[in-house]
Structure 1
Amino acid sequence: FVAWRSPHPTPFILFTCADWCYQSQFSCDHQCNSKYFIDCDGRYQSPINVVTRKTLLDERLTPFKFTNYQQIFRGFIKNNGHSVQVGVPHLSTISGGGLSTTYKAVQFHLHWGNSKGPGSEHTIDGEQYPMELHIVHMKHHYTDLSTALADQEGVAVLVASSTVNKYSLNVFVSDGNTSLPPVSLAQLLPPEQNLTSFYRYKGSLTTPGCTEAVVWTLFENTIPLSSDQLRAFFDLKFHDGKPMVDTFRPVQPLNGRQVFRSGATVALTSTALLVAALASALGLSQLN
């Protein structure tokens, strides 16, 4: 099992067998102890706090090209014991945006806090948001994430403040899953014209084994989240039966890394339209 001991920036990470746990699961009865996940103590770990005044403009960070992001698919919302995850069963890709090649989408998942505090993994100028969406991609020629993670830039993750809906309330137990209403990846994000302003840095997975093979993109434009939508996630359970809350890793030291920013200006859009798009994408409007 794994425990992250905050507020220290470097995690004290431990494990037994092949499983791990967040600090919110740690107790006198459930102590995470054994050996280190060595890579999780590396120098280029994620998440980080982005200090906007220290970011460097990079003209190579052009707008992304999203291919098949509009394609509707049906999948499963899975409680994997640590988060809510949805596999992407068809070929959706991203290119441009300063990436070295084309990356294909593999899955998306979320991180959140609790009823008393926020839960995004990355922070901007010290501000932590209620929830964070990760759309995970790997280089197009790889067939599995394990192989991609052997490449220092094998994985690319798009990050946005986002939410899913109460449909996930059916996923109470570890390894439970339920059908996802028809959805496209494009419906999970703001409109494409609002995704031209972003931050870029190189880091790691935020869960064990913390492999340092990720190109991170943090979109500046965020999506508002209602308290009712967020509250739905607090009924989910970890694999040990405890409430699935505070599913985020504390921010890690930059250790000399440079964070870059794109030169585009955010085109503001109606927050009501964004929330409606998310609700529609994940079936909230179909619930009683």
Structure 2
Amino acid sequence: MRSDFHLHCSYSPDSDSTMEEMIRGAIQLGLNRICLTDHQDWDYETDGKVWHFDTTPYVEDYLKYKEKYSGQIELLLGIELGLQPHLAEGYQEYVRKYPFDFIIGSSHLAHGKDPFLKSYFKGITEEEGYREYFESIVENIVAFDGYQVYGHLDYVVRYGPNQDRYYSYEAYRDVLDAILKALIDRGVGIEVNTAGFKYGLGQPNPHPDILKRYKELGGEILTIGSDAHRPEHIAYSFPQLEELLTGCGFRYYTVFRNRKPEFIKIR
């Protein structure tokens, strides 16, 4: 696994690493290609942090470093959109304006609430919080599908009171199947996000049982991303993925250029 398709730099408010530092970190690890996917979460703010940025200098920096490091690594341009149904029309216009190779659609909020904050689970059970998050994903998919993969499908589990202790695919089969079928019907893939290992889950997001079910339903588009915000987390736990993904039935993972997929054999 030598392609990391989920990386953040200081264009995202939760990263202090420059774009060049992330690129150089990937080169040092011997990666073939990376895709920068900084946060573009409209209509969201936490602790004075605004989760969106001016895309023009982002593209300019990308083009500068793409040329500078062209002999050492393939650099691709991406974005991670924080989805909410009421943003669909604006995002549709936004993605037409810039030459993105790859777009991740992600749920960082469920009905305007952030699972990262303890207040998300206040007054509700963990199961209710997880289910609301998954139901909001269905709403996002119906509203807008202008992205290549849905990011970290069970992201909410990272922040639950018990994380994945009582969590399983079977407990949410109905809504998770609705998500996977809706994505497959629209030609949209899913992401294997290895930050789940970093957060102590012992597995990526989504859970391997969700990956197996996605494959059973006919899903094939699968990108690999570390969700790194610092160079030391690039390609985090990638060595664990080969056995995991082949065990789920996958023979290929996917990279994107000009929003078109290329399938790379896992082994």
TM range (shorter): under 0.3
Larger proportion of strand: 1
- TM-score, length of structure 1 as denominator length: 0.26
Larger proportion of helix: 2
- Greater relative contact order, per chain length (Cα 8 Å cut-off, separation 6+): 1
- TM-score, length of structure 2 as denominator length: 0.27
